[in-house]
Structure 1
Amino acid sequence: MIARTSAFHFKGASIDIREVGQRLGANLVIEGSVRKAGEQLRITAQAIQTESGHHLWSETFRRELKDVFAIQEEIAQSVADLLRLHMPGVQGAVQSSAPNLDAYTAYLQARFLIHQQSPEALQAALGQLRKLVKVYPDYALAYSDMAAANGLLALFGAVSGREVYPEVKANAERGYALAPESGETCTVLGGLRAWFEYRWDEADGIYDRALRLQPSHARAHMFRAMALLCQGDFKAAETGLRRSTELDPLSASDCARMAYLHYVKGNYPSAAEHLRQSFELDRDYPEAGLYEGLLHFQQQNYDAVIQCLSPSVSPLNIGLLAAAHAKEGSLSRTGECIERLHQLAARQYVTPLAEGFAAIGMGDFDLAFQCLDEAVNHKTNFVNLLAVEPFFYPLRSDRRFAKLLKRMSLSH
């Protein structure tokens, strides 16, 4: 099953069903429409083979608005029955845990913001979800998504991971306790165990459980793959990311992370191609911007680093920009970037990793290790990639490097 984020690219568009199938890599598409008149709903749904255009199933549902979740489950069950007929072994329909339509609508709005992954969108999602659980304190997926949003903020140092960790832990564990049979709550709990607590083996077992419950859950494949990448298991990481992109082929984040995997493997042309695909899907996707800068840096194309990162206000991007200026011999520009970081720190949280990037570019390894040590303390989770990230290679022969890895339960 293709993830909702990819399928929604075609919402409201008039596109030939064969093109939809080709772009999504799907041989069966479920489409439909909803009509509302007062409190009455009329929902049509149909299943179409993408290659032939043949309709395998269609049905019309007429219900009252208050029965919307009953309709959702009825349609899902009908589709699951159809899939079992054509694809033996497919699991039954997953039931919604939403308490009502208003709660579900608010949850979907927050999910939309989380998929954008900018710090502003993630903070807005957190605000919505916090309001939601005040009204519906047993809404499992809302707790899990609060943990995920804060985790993404900590990943690149938009917030102090150390400060949000108690909230991430409480929300991830609360979501799982409320819905332990949900692949989503398992996935987020696995993310907590891996990225914040360095309990990598335990996290892998939780991801296994998530995928047994929901084999087509793209985010579980992606979370697990990135945790495996931190541990240096490139082959397993690539298998997981490839599966995630198959399930969510129009996801800018999956394209960006596949680019990152090829970058750390040293396959720069493939990394550049996946970055191009990510930018085609979302020109402003922030994660891809950092990876583009890192790719240019490893290719020693420092002018390109400067060109792509100069407009950015992200602290990590500013730190990488400082490193590029240092490599070009412009210490005055490097100093200006570091001063920008200090000015930002007077107004907002700035991860120590940003100045660590600059220090590596300047060749000041004592300062670099000091900043990396602080970044581990602050749980800036990008540091979990220390063992594989090429930008950190100049530090690898120093005994302090192995000590940092040991703190995160990673091998050299």
Structure 2
Amino acid sequence: MGKFFEEIKKRKVRKWLAIYLSTSVTVIGVVHLLSIRYNLPSILFDILLVIILFGLLSVLIISWYHGEPGKQKIDLNEIVFHSLIILFATFTLYLVISSKSLRILPRNAKIVAVLPFTNMNSSEDDFFSDGITEDILIQLSKISDLKVISRTSVMKFKNTKIKIGDIAKELGAGTILEGSVRRINNKVRIVAQLINANSDEHIWADTYDRNMKDIFSIQSEIAQKIASELKAKLLPKEKRIIDSKPTENMEAYALYLKGRHFYYNYNINDNEKAIALFKKALLIDSTYALALAGLADTYSQRVTKYWRSKEWFDSSLVLGKKAVDLNPYLPEAYKALGSAYDGLGEKDLASINYKEAIALNPNYWSAILNYGQIKMFSGRYDEALYWIRKANQLAPDDIMGNISVGMVYKAINCNNTAISWVKKALLLDPENIYATFYLGDLYLNSGDFDNAHKYFLQSVKLDSNFVFSWFLGARLESILNNYEKAKIYYDNYMKITNSEPEYFYAHTLLKLNKTDSAMIILNKELKDYKEYLADKPEYDTFSYIAFAEIYGILNNKDKAFYWWQEAIYKGYTDVERIKLYPYFNNLRNEPKYKQLLYKMQTKVDSFKTEINHHYPEYAECN
């Protein structure tokens, strides 16, 4: 035995072995890093392990026969040994490869787009196939290791002839899920197939023939199978949420799907239809938390989109709380509750509920967008940009998402960038009233009055009852000193909203020598803003600048400067508004005016620095 170890030492076998093992560890490390970066299949590690193990035998043989100093001839035994090693290695590799599919997924495989499933029944069943599509999308969205493109962005590809690769490229997705739905009496057939967007090859496909009562199990199975195929980590909490059933009653479920279908049409008549359908679902199953959340959302939408009384937010709040009590793991319930609190001005509580919705569904783009908007209105523009851009990545075709990105860039005085984002929104729908209005508003803020007037007229033409259009026109005419016309536009604004006059209107009245009426309005505005800020001081930078502008109109310079400074402290940064609007005309020659303007610009620059540092990919200001 001693002689054997002497031979090992003499032939430097240990040295050969050490070099080989250290090289092998390095290779494994490099492959591991590349697999993370390029999402390489795990089978490569199996192949690498086989090569390293059999390579180790070859190294030992080579070191034994050729480890001594001087020249050595190749021995016949050595050739036999190496031949056997190659033979066994090849056979082992064959067994490994044949036992597993060698499939290389795209680098962005975990970005999934769920295309609208084909409805194999009559068009009356579109709501059902669309609903199944969205439910599968929602289940996938709850898996934090996946990024799932929103319903908003995929629905335009319904019944499309566009190639899978082109759709994926537009959406930034690596994998596409498509399929079909057929419903016959109480039976349902769902065909689903997951496609590699790069190669157009099927990663996975299956057909589910089940009873309708098993519909939620099918959705759960599909989501978990996709996660497995894409090697996405599924947390135990996520699995429990995905496996839960929203209702046991299939009639209530069908009514909910139909209600959600009408809700997404975003018009007042269909919103009322959605309300009726959600109520019918709840008559059948009063514990259906998802239907309660849907009803809460439609009530909030009555106010935010259709100008009904704000009391509907109270109704939404009651329903949202009930939904959360019934199912504390339902993201839609927290989002509905957040929207109600948001509408009631309770921004802290709204933020808490939006964050809870996002925690339960990390791809819940509308909750992410709403949370980002709260950050924006509270003057935290770097955080706002992060959240709103995140929502935009999940829903690149959502008009309000693109507009919201533009509004953040406007807040940090990147007007050209803001305009380009709102133009993207307008390209998605050239007749969209919100995009048209906001584009006019941005041109006004940048001092381009011709384009501001152009888009004001376009927005009025699109919808003469859209209140913000008249408000835009009134502000434009005030800046241009056309106060008679400004008053007409303000009157239209108040008539549509059935609201009381505000300080903008009072300023116009002063310019038209209607001092008594103007002073009544201004004094009431001061009282109302004081009460509002006493109750909710943190989340509305505009209220602070409103105070400053009211005192500017009253020529109370000290208080105007005080509240302006408070607005800056709270995060107000709209430098261009201060320069353009006439409310500070009495202050412009004061040294304090230039000091505060400089302070605002410094604040803007600090936000830009924060964005450049934390989110360099979003630093596109110009």
Q: Which of 458, 472, 479 is equivalent to 1:308?
A: 458
**Aligned residues of 1:369 and 1:400 also touching (Cα < 8 A):** no
Bigger Cα displacement from structure 2, 265-274 vs 328-337 = 328-337
Q: Give the secondary structure class of the aligned counterpart of 2:286.
A: coil
Q: What is the aligned counterpart of 1:331 among 483, 503, 510?
A: 483
Counterpart for residue 402 of structure 2: 255
Give the gaps of 5 or more residues in structure 1: none
Matched residue, 2:225 = 78
Which residue is equivalent to 1:191? 339
Q: Distance in 2 between matches of 1:5 and 1:224?
A: 18
Q: For residue 45 of structure 1, what is the aligned residue in structure 2?
A: 192
CA distance in 2, matches of 1:290, 1:64: 49
Q: What is the DSSP-based 3-state SS (H/G/I as helix, E as strand, rest coil) of the residue aligned with 1:310?
A: helix
Deviation at 1:255, TM superposition (A): 1.4
Q: Distance in 2 between matches of 1:178 and 1:401?
A: 50
Is the contact between residue 322 and residue 335 of structure 1 (CA under 8 Å) also seen in structure 2?
A: yes
- The aligned amino acid for 1:304 is K
Q: Does 1:292 align with 2:446?
A: no
If asked which structure has higher relative contact order (CA below 8 Å, sep 6+), I would say 1
Whole-angstrom distance in 1 between the partners of 2:530 and 2:362: 33
Compute the displacement of 1:143 (Å): 2.3
Change (3 A) 1:174 1:123: same
RMSD: 3.8
Structure 1 residue aligned with 2:82: none
Which residue in the other structure is 2:283 paired with? 134
**Contact (CA 8 Å) 1:309, 1:318: kept in 2 or not?**
no
Check whether the contact 1:310–1:321 (CA below 8 A) recurs between aligned residues.
Answer: no
Cα offset, 1:13, TM superposition: 0.8
Q: 1:195–1:339: structure 2 CA closer, same or farther, 3 Å change rule?
A: closer
Which residue type is aligned with residue 143 of structure 1?
L
- Counterparts of residues 320-399 of structure 1 (less than 5 Å): 320-341=472-493, 343-344=495-496, 350-352=498-500, 358-359=505-506, 367=521, 370=524, 386-387=540-541, 395=549, 399=559
1:224 to 367, 371, 374: 371
How far residue 324 of structure 1 moved from its aligned partner, in angstroms, is 2.1
- 1:307 and 1:239 map into 2 onto residues whose CA distance is 33
> Take 1:397 and 1:318, find their aligned partners in 2: how far apart are those partners?
24
Deviation at 1:65, TM superposition (A): 3.8
Give me the TM-score of the superposition, normalised by structure 1. 0.81
Distance 2:302 2:377 in 1: 18
Q: Which runs of 5+ in 2 are unaligned?
A: 1-147, 512-517, 553-558, 573-622
| Cα gap change, 1:361 to 1:278, in 2 (>3 Å) | farther
**More divergent stretch after superposition (296-305 vs 367-376):** 367-376
Q: Please report how far the alpha carbon of residue 27 of structure 1 lies from its aligned counterpart in structure 2 after TM superposition.
A: 0.8
- Mapped to 2, the partners of 1:198 and 1:54 lie a distance apart of 49
Report matched runs for 1:203-222 at 5 Å. 203-222=350-369
SS in structure 2 at match of 1:56: strand
Deviation string 1:87-142 (CA, Å, 9 cap, x unpaired) is 33564372451454443344344434444545555445434434443343222223
Aligned residue type for 1:292: L
Q: Tell me what 1:14 maps to.
A: 161
Residues 132 and 38 of structure 1: CA distance in aligned 2, closer, same or farther (over 3 Å): closer
**How many residue pairs end up in the alignment?**
397
The corresponding residue for 1:318 is 470
Shift of 1:317: 2.4
User: TM-score when scaled to structure 2?
Assistant: 0.56
Instruction: Select between 295-304 and 91-100 the one with higher mean Cα deviation.
Output: 91-100
Alpha-carbon distance between aligned partners in 2 of 1:12 and 1:391, rounded to the nearest angstrom: 50
Pick which of 15-24 and 131-140 moved more. Answer: 131-140
Residue in 2 aligned with 1:158? 307
Distance 1:99 1:363 in 2: 64
Question: 2-side partners of 1:8 and 1:293: how far apart?
Answer: 29
> What's the secondary structure of 2:421's corresponding residue?
helix
Distance 1:7 1:318 in 2: 34
Cα distance in 2 for partners of 1:393, 1:297 equals 22
Amino acid at match of 1:169: L
Q: Is the 8 A contact 2:182 2:190 kept in 1?
A: yes
- Pair 142,41 (structure 1): closer, same or farther in 2 beyond 3 Å: closer
Cα drift, residue 313 of structure 1: 0.8
CA contact 2:293–2:332 (8 Å) conserved in 1:
yes
- The AA in structure 2 aligned to 1:88 is K
Q: Which letter does structure 2 place at the counterpart of 1:53? A: D
SS at match of 2:188: strand
Pick the aligned partner of 2:319 from 163, 166, 171.
Answer: 171
Matching residue's letter, 1:217? Y
Q: Is the 8 A contact 2:255 2:280 kept in 1?
A: no
CA distance in 1 between counterparts of 2:398 and 2:478 reads 34
Give the whole-Å Cα distance in 2 for the aligned partners of 1:22 and 1:390.
Answer: 45
Q: Is the alpha carbon distance of 1:57 and 1:390 closer, same or farther for their aligned partners in structure 2, counting shifts above 3 Å?
A: farther
From the superposition, tell whether residues 227 and 117 of structure 1 become closer, same or farther in structure 2 (CA, over 3 Å). farther
User: Counterparts of 1:68 and 1:99 in 2: how far apart (Å)?
Assistant: 10
Q: 1:109 to 1:262 in 2, by over 3 A?
A: farther
Residue number in structure 2 paired with 1:238? 385
Distance verdict in 2 for CA 1:402–1:394, change over 3 Å: closer
Structure possessing the higher radius of gyration over alpha carbons: 2
Q: 1:179 to 1:21 in 2, by over 3 A?
A: same
